[in-house]
Amino acid sequence: MATLIALETARFGVPQWLWTIGFIIVKIAVVLAGVMLHVAYATYFERKVIGRMQNRLGPMIVGPYGLLQPIADGIKSFFKEDIIPTNADKPIFFMAPVLGLMAALSSLAVVPFFNGFVIANINIGLLFLFAMSSLAVYGVILGGWSSNSKFSFLGSLRASAQVISYEVPLGLSLVGVMMMAGSLNITEIVNAQSRYPGGMYIIAQWLGFFVFVVSAIAETNRSPFDLPEAEQELIAGFFTEYSGMRFALFFMAEYTGMIIMSSIAVLCFLGGWTIPPFVLKLLPFLGVVPGIVWFIMKLYVCIFFYYWIRSTLPRYRYDQLMAIGWKVLIPLSLANIVITAVLKILLHHAGTP
Amino acid sequence: MINQIFFFYFSAVIVAMSVMAITRRQVLHGVLYMLLMFFHIAGLYLFLNAEFISAVQIIVYAGAIMVLFLFVIMLLNLREDIRKKQFIAVWPMGLLVSSGILMVVLMSMLTVRTGTKGVWGIAQIERVTETVAVGTVLYMQYLFPFEVASLVLLVAIIGAIVLAKRKVK
Amino acid sequence: MIPLNWYMWLSGVVFCIGMFGFVTRRNIIIMLLSIEIMFNGVNISLIALSHYLEDLAGQVLVFFIIAVAAAEAAIGLALVMLLFRNKETITVDDLNELKG
């Protein structure tokens, strides 16, 4: 890609840095547009999947097989009246959904979608993802606090406690992956996986993967850990008072968060855009399939898993949720770190990396 | 040139946000200004080639400590307290004292003389990446302080639980 | 390049703002925030020195300071909770039972 840019520069006489900046902006636009499209159709996919699992059809009216339903939903929420509670703390009320969506979208900057396509290939990619996912809680807390309503307040208290608690196992579960890859750069982690004989870290890090999946579901406030927005108890939790486009922003933030968590799972545990070497040896023709196809397929498997769990399991009680987080997941992830470290040292001394 | 523009932007925002944070009547607004300030400090750290510390700054300060503050503010019913007088009566005295100390600090900076340079130049850090470099120094030379820090955190966890827990009946 | 002194001045200014807040505000939570501001002022100077002296000890020290700051915030806020539960106030001037 760099040589291509150099050639173009020579042709038009435009300075190099302008090309670089323009190229980055085009990349950002492509990524944002692509992810927003997937967010819209993730809602459609969710309603279809859950409909099928509950023995009904899901959206069917708008367009063939209801395919235009997300667009109709978007237009509807855009033109709805924007209600602001009288006693709300207005600047914070306006800011909260934007903050939530911003934290979710800026994580996309370090996610490599296929080999070489990443907006910012930084050395601390995984830490950046942690930082951004720890900011997601601000949208929730501030939204609930500023709308000055009991339900929002309770919802946001629950949500912040839950998200803070589950951030710890989420971070610790990925430490095993960092140790195996020896890097925090996500592209580097994927490349290390393709060199690893199993091809995917899920084989060696199954314990870490289990902890990661459970805490990712809790971190994105999805069922069965959707206590912050439990419809039956709290109406809708922290965004009870939001309507119209602001509500849609919270909704988008939640689904973007889901996509981010799924793509971390794909990149760190499922091999990203690569396929395991032994599969490639068995079926060599799979090598011609571009990496982005594998990435999106794995991503949708993860998202399907989210929906599958949602339509299968009942909601946990709040004390159960906290007990799982602190008494089960954190010790498990610590054990995983210790086991990985010991095995790595033993194997290193035995000669095989 | 571009470095200096960025430095002035970051430092202006840091100073302005810290002033805003300590003068707000509503505590929660102060916390939000602090949040903005932490982001700009993290940006400043990136300029100083401390990418690991800047990520830690956001994860720990913005992601944990400020959330803890927000959490406590939400748990307490502060409607009475925020109506009280914001500053002590003799706040000009405080201003005088702190600006006096500021003067001393600024003047003393003029004569600061740095010692010998260490081994971790930019080229060396770039060769092994910054996280590896910090990890090496942390676990090779500062292992004992690291263990002590973990003990401090353990004490803090136990202390916080003991203090904040209601009496068991 | 930016001279080292600029960073040191910035750190001094941020530290003194934090000190002013700590001395003059009477709300305990704001006072704790001021302490965090002072920590950050010191951290800026440590990181700057670590960069200019090409020695990573400064960054390691900042790492420890952040850990201690987290511990301090946890204990401090637990104390604030306890105070509010017993006295219904977090203003320092209202805590005058000793009349010292």
Tell me the nearest-neighbour CA distance from C23 into chain B, angstroms: 6
Tens of pLDDT, residues C27-84: 888 889 999 999 999 999 999 888 888 888 888 999 999 999 999 998 998 888 888 8
Q: Is B6 an 8 Å CB contact of chain C?
A: no
pLDDT higher at A202 or B150: B150
**Predicted confidence (pLDDT) per residue in A151-196, tens digit:** 778 878 888 888 888 888 988 888 888 888 888 888 888 888 888 7
Tell me if B71 and A141 make a contact (CB, 8 A cut-off): yes
Dihedral class, residue A114 (left if φ above 0, else alpha if ψ from -120 to 50, else beta) = beta
- Per-residue pLDDT averaged across A125-133, rounded? 87
The distance of B99 to chain A (nearest Cα, Å) reads 33
Which residues of chain B make contact with C81, given a CB cutoff of 8 A?
Answer: 72, 75-76, 163-164
Q: Chain B to chain C, count of Cβ pairs less than 8 Å apart? A: 228
Whole-number Å distance between alpha carbons of C51 and B54: 13
Q: How confident is the model at residue B51 (pLDDT cuts 50, 70, 90)?
A: confident
**Residue A249 in 3-state DSSP?**
helix
DSSP state of C77: H
CA atoms within 13 A on the CB side of A110: 25
pLDDT level of residue A353 (50, 70, 90 thresholds)? very low
Where are the domains positioned within chain C? 4-94
Give C99 to chain B, closest Cα distance, Å.
Answer: 18
Mean pLDDT within A120-125 = 82
Distance of CA A303 to the CA centre of its chain: 9
pLDDT at residue B15, rounded to an integer: 92
- The predicted-structure confidence for C82-94, as pLDDT tens digits, reads as follows 888 887 777 777 7
Which residues lie below 8 Å from residue C72, measured CB to CB, with a gap of 6+? B156, C35
Work out the average pLDDT over B37-55. 89
- Number of Cβ atoms within 10 Å of the Cβ of B155: 12
Whether the CB of C20 is below 8 Å from some CB of chain B: the reply is yes
CATH class, domain B1-84, is mainly alpha
Rounded (to 5) percent helix, strand, coil in chain A:
75, 0, 25
Chain C: touching chains (3 or more CB pairs < 8 Å): B
Contacts of C82 in chain B (CB under 8 A): 163-164
Instruction: Flag whether residue B28 sits within 8 Å of chain A, measured between CB atoms.
Output: yes
Q: For residue A242, what are the CA distances in angstroms to A148, A227, A263?
A: 11, 18, 29
Give the length of chain C.
Answer: 100
User: What's residue B167's pLDDT?
Assistant: 66
Three-class SS of C18-32: HHHHHHHECEHHHHH
For residue C96, what are the contacts with CB-CB under 8 A and spacing of at least 6?
A: none
Q: What is the dihedral of CA C53, A183, B47, B18, to 10 degrees?
A: -100
Query: Over 90: is that where the pLDDT of A142 sits?
Result: no
Read off the DSSP letter of residue A314: P
In chain A, residues with a C-beta closer than 8 Å to the C-beta of B69 are: none
Is C95 within 8 Å of chain B by CB? no
For residue A111, CA distances in Å to A106, A128, B51, C86 come to 10, 10, 18, 49
Q: What is the pLDDT of residue A83?
A: 74
Q: What is the mean pLDDT of chain B?
A: 84
List the alpha helices (DSSP H) in A82-240: 90-106, 125-146, 150-181, 186-195, 206-219, 231-234
Question: What's the confidence (pLDDT) of residue A138?
Answer: 86
Q: Which CATH number fits domain C4-94: 1.10.287.3510, 3.40.50.150, 3.30.420.40, 1.20.1070.10?
A: 1.10.287.3510
Q: State how far the alpha carbon of B47 is from the alpha carbons of A66, A139, B42, B136, C48, in Å.
A: 50, 28, 9, 22, 9
Q: How far is CA A80 from the centre of its chain?
A: 28
- Is A275 strand, coil or helix? coil
Q: Which of C54, C62, C77 sits opposite B68 (nearest CB)?
A: C77
Q: Which residue of A has its CA nearest to B74?
A: A145
- Encode pLDDT of A215-230 as tens digits: 888 888 777 877 666 6
CB A119 within 8 A of CB A23: no
Predicted confidence at residue C25, as pLDDT, reads 84
**Residue A120: predicted pLDDT:** 80
Which residues in chain B are contacts of A92 at CB distance < 8 A?
A: 28-29, 32
CA A160, A161, A162, A163 torsion: positive or negative?
positive
The answer to whether residues C71 and B65 touch, using CB atoms and an 8 Å cutoff, is: no
> For residues B69 and A313, what is the distance between their CA atoms, to the nearest angstrom?
34
In angstroms, the CA A252 to CA B115 distance is: 53
Q: Provide, as residue numbers in chain C, all residues whose Cβ is less than 8 Å from the Cβ of B22.
A: 17-18, 20-21, 25, 30, 33-34, 37
Structure confidence at residue A148 (pLDDT): 75
* Residue B166 pLDDT greater than 60, yes or no: yes
Enumerate the domain spans of chain A. 1-79, 84-350
* Residue A92 near residue A141, CB atoms below 8 Å: no
* Interface test mutation site (partner C, options B4, B5, B9, B14, max chain C beta carbons within 10 A): B14
Could you say which of B53, B98, B137 has the minimum Cβ distance to residue C47? B53
Which residues from chain A sit within 8 angstroms of residue B35, using beta carbons? 138
Query: Worst-scoring range by mean pLDDT, A109-113, A262-266, C86-90?
Result: C86-90
- Mutate which of C8, C46, C60, C92 to test chain B, going by most B C-beta atoms within 10 A? C60
- Touching subunits for chain A (3+ Cβ pairs under 8 A): B
The pLDDT confidence band at residue A1, using thresholds 50, 70 and 90, is very low
Q: What angle do CA B161, B167, B168 make, to 5 degrees?
A: 100
- Is B27 touching C (CB cutoff 8 A)? yes
User: pLDDT tens across A7-49, in order?
Assistant: 554 556 667 778 888 888 888 888 888 888 888 888 888 888 8
Per the CB < 8 A criterion, the answer to whether A196 and A180 are in contact is yes
Residue B10 has pLDDT above 70, yes or no: yes
Q: Which of A173, C36, A259, A344 is nearest to B34 (CA)?
A: C36
**Chain B partners of C21 at a C-beta cutoff of 8 Å?**
21-23
pLDDT beyond 90 at B114 = no
The burial of A130, by beta-carbon neighbours within 10 Å (0-12 exposed, 13-18 middle, 19 or more buried), is given as: buried
Percent of chain B scoring above 70 in pLDDT: 94
When the pLDDT of each residue in chain A is averaged and rounded to a whole number, the result is: 81
The pLDDT of residue B163 is 83
**Is it the case that residue A6 has pLDDT exceeding 60?**
no
Residue of B nearest to A125 (CA): B55
